[in-house]
A and B are shown apart, each in its own frame.
Chain A
Amino acid sequence: MSLLTIKGLDVGFGGVTVLHGIDLEIAAGSLVAIVGANGAGKTTLLRALSRLLPLRAGSIRFDGQELAGVAPHRVTRMGLVHVPQGRQIIPTLSVEENLLIGAGSLPGLGRAELDSRLAGEYDRFPVLRERRRISGGSLSGGEQQMLAVSRALMMRPRVLMLDEPSLGLAPQIITGIFGALRALAASGVTVLLVEQVAFAALKIADHGYVLQTGRIAMSGPPSELLKDPELVSRYLG
């Protein structure tokens, strides 16, 4: 059963149309990887889904509800949470304050509930508990990415959308973060992972899409995509 259905999406800014007729089906509880080289339109796609960019055409249905006219903060509260590229940690706030930025502004969450969610995230990434009092800006790149993921999870999303979490990180740290994402999907959270590193992302995914210059060029089960020599040529011409 599809939780997020995207049909005929056209997105652009200024005089440019970046995405052309994107169709996606994202099943509840699955991990879907959308891979592509830089400039393919991956970031634009996520920004459109979280409603930070206007749509030129098409529809986004989330759990049966149309998102086209919904404001970004409402989309987040409905459970579609975006972890932006470059992590967007507030460097002058402490790790714990960063974690509370999103969830702390949700209505009706008591201190006890917030504390229990914090404890949950500290269990997921123990290094964040160690560093909870130090400033976000002094974390390493990998720790910042964990913080960004945890900050989104503090809002108990139904769909977690990640924009290139591997960017600038060493391979073994990527493996760690991707492992956490796999575990998250197993626990029932739908994960939409947008990545450049196709091999690693497809390996953990249930379904894969390949984006090339604003269009879906390939899609299918990851095991088939990984075997297809066309995948490399979609990146390197």
Chain B
Amino acid sequence: MRHLRYLVAAVAIAVFPLVSPNPYFINLAQDAAIVAIGAIGLNILLGLSGQLSLGQAGFLALGAYGSGVLSTNHGWPLWATLPVSLLLSAVAGGVIGLVALRTRTHYLAMVTLAFGYIVEILSQRWVGITGGSMGLIGVPQLNFGDFGNGATYFFWAVAAALLLVQMMNDYVMRSRFGRSLHAIKESESFALTVGIDAARWRSLVFVVSAVTAGLSGFFFAHQAGYVSSDAFGLDRSIALLIAVVIGGLGSAYGPLLGAVILVMLNQLTAGLYEVSFYIFGGILLVVMLFFPAGAVGAVQRLFRRRSSAVPSSADVPAKSAQPTSATVPAAASASPSDAPILELHEVTKSYSGVVAVSAVSLKVMPGTVHAVIGPNGAGKSTLINVISGLYQPDSGTIRFLGRDITRLKPHRRANLGLTRTFQNLQLIGTLTVAENVMLGLQRGRSFVPGWLHWLVSDSEERADRAEATRLLRYFNIERLADSLPGDLPYGHRKLCELARALAQNPTMLFLDEPIAGLNEGEALDIMAKIRGLKALGVTVLLVEHNMSFVMELSDTVTVLDYGRKIGEGAPAVVKRDPVVIAAYLGTEDA
């Protein structure tokens, strides 16, 4: 299917110049391809990882000048200037990517805006190198030495590059890389706890967007044989953004479609230069208000309306509460022993003068269900975040499987088998239920080998999908695999999150209010599932407000109040402890 699509695209690229009625259309197609290459990178950056760049023209300029200057002033051949100019953009992208780790949202947009301005001003003023606004004249054209057929050859080259970039994009969108970026966009702290190194990914994706912008700039420089600083103003960054938004933010073919629409609009409004900004602004407004998913979304909606066979959550059959032992997930092997699997020693955490957790020591024994309870404000949330690594304790140590993890980053803890769920569900709304579960399967090849393998076969994706399906079957929600989490009843969303936690192959499962918001039947179902996991050797650390559930399920209960441990023991003992009763109900003298 995918191979056929690329083959059709390749044939279309080969044939287009031959059937084009005149060179004008070939030229337009070149323009569209140049825009599309840059837009694809911006779409991955903004649409997937949620980072807005208003400085793509800066990367574009680096690609264009890098190759333009080396080939014009120093006589380098284009096959040598291409990698150098891409490297230049990549380095700039890496630097901005590092800055992106310290700034977020609109602050990041301001940083990229500033970067774009700096590059623009440099290219204007550094006349000795760039020629300024007079331009770099006599840049070698990419025509393979044939002026008659030059336009055709150029189109073939740029379109082939576009096809390659699109194939890279498709891999990102359909693999764990795209899913990870969706997760980072939705919540970085969540991404960390499923083992995704969010910082690395956020800066890498900047490099990717910079390289595609650089490639776009390379073709731009060698299309007309003339590079002027006027070409790299803010309006070019905005134009890329418009192409991405009009096409459909975050969709695989949105940038391509958006680039074609943008180039056509440019032609239609060429005679109306004075009002063209109004026209673009108006179109952008209409798209954002009525077609938030862009042109791709509008087309999809049209098709979906025709075929009404979309599964809805309304026809979900009543679920059977019985776990089928045949579909139980692979056992996480935790050999039972006397050594605690998780050990906190005198852990203290305070913020702005308030001690939230004070010298808490805790031992969780392997293969047990261990609950942490306490009244509001007791420090449970802080303790959870300290154990999963989202907060650093001020003092004390945390050992997991005998190893000191006090200073370990959350994604590393996740990869060690310390898996958590969240009180307010962290499901990625833009991914299907199955894809959400696949997020937990953080494994597989690194990017380039993964891409090359994917070009031949998608066996890796299929294996992940089969594994996700197996886990969903364990929770009796296999039929919901292709639904979006937002369409599911709350109880099923909870099950989906548990399935994802299991996908991470936990040694210790850390459940933050697993039955909050569930009805009694659903709660019993979850209880049965947790018992099943315990039987498989998974250690469970539980924070939950429903006391009957906690007392029924736990082997050991630890009670916190005002950040201190005030009680610990078997449920029956803790329930009768006067100190615990006073913590919950107070005393009559307040």
A is bound by B: yes
Number of interface residues, chain A, beta carbon within 8 A:
32
Chain A residues with CB below 8 A from B546, complex form: 39, 213, 237
Q: Mark B526-557, 1 if CB is under 8 A from A, else 0.
A: 00000000000000000001111111100000
B575 touches A236 (CB 8 A): yes
Chain A residues in 8 Å Cβ range of B489: 15
Inter-chain contacts of A101 with B (CB < 8 A): none
In the complex, residue of chain A having the shortest beta-carbon distance to the beta carbon of B552:
A237
Stretch of A59-67, A125-133, A192-200 contacting B (4+ beta carbons < 8 Å):
A192-200
Interface positions of B from 482 to 534, Cβ below 8 Å from A:
488-491, 493, 513, 516-517
Q: For A167, give its contact among B376, B490, B493, B575 (CB under 8 Å).
A: B376
Chain B residues with Cβ below 8 Å from A175 are 589-590
A16 with B490, Cβ < 8 A, contacts A39-B545, A237-B551 known: yes
User: Which A168-214 residues have C-beta < 8 A from chain B?
Assistant: 168, 171-172, 174-175, 178, 196-201, 203, 213
For chain B residues 569-590, which have a beta carbon within 8 Å of chain A? 571, 574-575, 580-581, 584-590
Q: How far is the CA of A168 from the CA of B152 in the complex (A)?
A: 74
- Of the candidates A15, A168, A237, the one whose C-beta lies within 8 Å of that of B548 is A237
CB < 8 Å neighbour of A237 from B516, B547, B587: B547
Q: Which residues of B sit under 8 angstroms from A218, Cβ to Cβ?
A: none
Partner of A166, one of B493, B550, B588, B590: B590
Interface string of B366-403 (1 = CB under 8 A from A): 00000000011100000000000000000000000000
Beta-carbon contacts of B431-474 to A below 8 Å, as 1s and 0s?
00000000000000000000000000000000000000000000
Q: Are A38 and B375 in contact (CB under 8 A)?
A: yes
- Residues of B within 8 Å of A168, CB to CB, are 377
Give which listed residue, B493, B552, B575, B588, contacts A15 with CB less than 8 A.
B493
- The docked-state distance in angstroms from the alpha carbon of A65 to that of B548 is 39
Q: Mark B191-220, 1 if CB is under 8 A from A, else 0.
A: 000000000000000000000000000000
What residues on B are CB-neighbors of A236 within 8 Å?
547, 551, 574-575, 580-581, 584
Judge whether B545 and A38 touch: CB under 8 Å: yes
Kindly identify which residue among A35, A196, A226, A232 contacts B376, using a CB–CB cutoff of 8 Å.
A196
- Docked Cα-Cα span, A166 to B488, in Å, equals 37
A166 to B589, CA, bound (A): 13
Instruction: State A20–B546 Cα separation when bound (angstroms).
Output: 16
User: Does A37 sit at the interface, judged by CB under 8 A?
Assistant: yes
Find out whether the CB atom of B375 lies under 8 angstroms from the CB atom of A199.
Answer: no
Contact A15 B490 (CB under 8 A): yes
Query: Do B376 and A164 touch across chains, with their CB atoms under 8 A apart?
Result: yes
Please give the distance in Å from B491's CB to the nearest CB on chain A: 8
| Distance in Å: Cβ of A140 to nearest Cβ of chain B | 11
Which residues of chain A from 128 to 148 have a CB within 8 Å of any chain B CB? none
Contact check, A16 vs B590: say whether CB atoms are below 8 A apart.
Answer: no
Check B547–A198 contact: CB distance below 8 A. Answer: no
B551, A16: Cβ atoms closer than 8 Å: no
Within 8 A of B (CB), among A34-80: 35, 37-40
Question: Distance (Å) between the CB of A141 and the closest chain B CB?
Answer: 9
Residue pair B376, A178 in contact (C-beta under 8 Å): no
Give the docked Cα–Cα distance between A91 and B225 (Å).
61
Do the beta carbons of A235 and B584 come within 8 Å of each other?
Answer: yes
In the bound complex, residues from chain A placing their C-beta under 8 Å from that of B493 are 15
Contact of B547 with A226 in the complex, beta carbons under 8 Å? no
Tell me if A231 is interfacial: C-beta within 8 Å of chain B: yes
Complex contacts, B552 vs chain A, CB 8 Å: 237
How many residues on the B side are at the interface (Cβ–Cβ under 8 A)? Answer: 31
B437 → chain A, closest Cβ, in Å?
19
Residue numbers in A under 8 Å from B580 (CB-CB): 236
A231 touches B548 (CB 8 A): no
What are the residues of chain B within 8 A of A232 when measuring CB–CB?
581, 585
- B518 to chain A: closest residue by CB: A16
A88 to B550, CA, bound (A): 32
Within the assembled complex, what's the spacing in Å between the Cα atoms of A98 and B545? 34
Complex interface: chain B residues within 8 A of A226 (CB): 588
In the complex, the answer to whether B590 meets A200 with C-beta atoms within 8 Å is yes
0/1 interface trace, chain B 559-577, chain A, CB 8 Å (1 if under): 0000000000001001100
Partner of A200, one of B490, B491, B571, B586: B586
Alpha-carbon distance between A236 and B552 when the two chains are bound, in angstroms: 11
Q: Please give the distance in Å from B190's CB to the nearest CB on chain A.
A: 17
A110 CB-CB contact with B under 8 Å: no
Cα distance A39–B546 when bound, in Å? Answer: 7
* Complex Cα–Cα for A236 and B585 (A): 10
**Is A200 within 8 A of B516, CB to CB?**
no
Q: Are B517 and A235 in contact (CB under 8 A)?
A: no
Residues of B within 8 A of A38 (CB): 375-376, 545
- Min CB distance A227 to B, Å, is 12
* A14 part of interface (Cβ distance < 8 Å): yes
A85–B437 CA distance with the chains assembled, in angstroms: 36
Q: How far is the CA of A38 from the CA of B549 in the complex (A)?
A: 14
User: A22: CB under 8 A from chain B?
Assistant: no
* Residues A237 and B586 in contact, CB atoms below 8 Å apart: no
Question: A224 CB to closest chain B CB, in angstroms?
Answer: 14
B589-A171 in contact (CB<8A):
yes
With contact pairs A14-B490, A196-B375, A237-B548 given, residues A37 and B584 touching in the complex (Cβ less than 8 Å): yes
Q: Judge if A18 is at the interface, Cβ distance under 8 Å.
A: yes
Q: Which residues of the other chain, B, contact A237 by a CB distance below 8 angstroms? A: 546-552, 571, 575
> CA of A16 to CA of B522 in the docked complex: distance in angstroms?
12
- In the bound complex, residues from chain B placing their C-beta under 8 Å from that of A166 are 586, 590
Q: Are B545 and A200 in contact (CB under 8 A)?
A: no
Cβ of B558 to closest chain A Cβ, rounded Å: 14
CA distance A16 to B516 in the complex (A): 9
Asked whether, in the complex, the Cβ of A37 is within 8 Å of the Cβ of B586, the reply is: no
Q: Are B377 and A167 touching (Cβ within 8 A)?
A: yes
Q: Residue on B with the closest CB to A172?
A: B590
Min C-beta distance of B294 to chain A, whole Å? 28
A237 to B489, CA, bound (A): 27
Whole-angstrom CA separation of A167 from B377 in the bound complex: 7
A164 to B376, alpha carbons, bound, how many Å? Answer: 10
**Binary CB contact string for chain A from 213 to 237 against chain B (1 if under 8 A, 0 otherwise):** 1000000000000100001100111
Task: Please state if B590 and A171 are interface contacts (CB–CB under 8 Å).
Answer: yes
User: Could you say which residues of chain A place their CB within 8 Å of the CB of B571?
Assistant: 237
- Complex interface bits, B222-247 against A, C-beta within 8 A gives 1, otherwise 0: 00000000000000000000000000
- Nearest chain A residue, comparing its CB with the CB of B490: A15
Q: A236-B551, A236-B575, A237-B551 in contact; A198/B377 too (CB < 8 A)?
A: no
Complex formed: what's the CA distance from A198 to B582 in Å?
Answer: 9
Structural contact, A199 and B585, CB atoms closer than 8 A: yes
Which B residues are in CB contact (< 8 Å) with A35? 585
Q: Which of A14, A39, A167, A231 is within 8 Å of B585, CB to CB?
A: A231
Residues of A within 8 A of B550 (CB): 237
Name which residue of chain A comes closest to B517, CB basis.
A16
Taking a contact as CB atoms under 8 Å apart, the answer to whether B376 and A197 are in contact is: no
How far apart are the CA atoms of A174 and B588 in the complex, in Å? 11
The closest CB in chain B to the CB of A197 belongs to B586
13 A-B pairs with CB atoms under 8 Å apart are: A35-B585, A39-B546, A164-B376, A171-B587, A174-B586, A196-B586, A198-B586, A200-B586, A201-B586, A231-B585, A232-B585, A236-B580, A237-B575
Leading 5 A-B pairs by shortest Cβ distance? A197-B586, A39-B545, A15-B490, A237-B547, A16-B517
Q: Which residues does B use to contact A, with CB under 8 Å?
A: 375-377, 488-491, 493, 513, 516-517, 545-552, 571, 574-575, 580-581, 584-590
A sample of 10 more A-B contacts (CB under 8 A), given A38-B545, A174-B586, A237-B547, is A14-B490, A15-B488, A198-B584, A198-B585, A199-B585, A199-B586, A199-B587, A237-B548, A237-B550, A237-B552
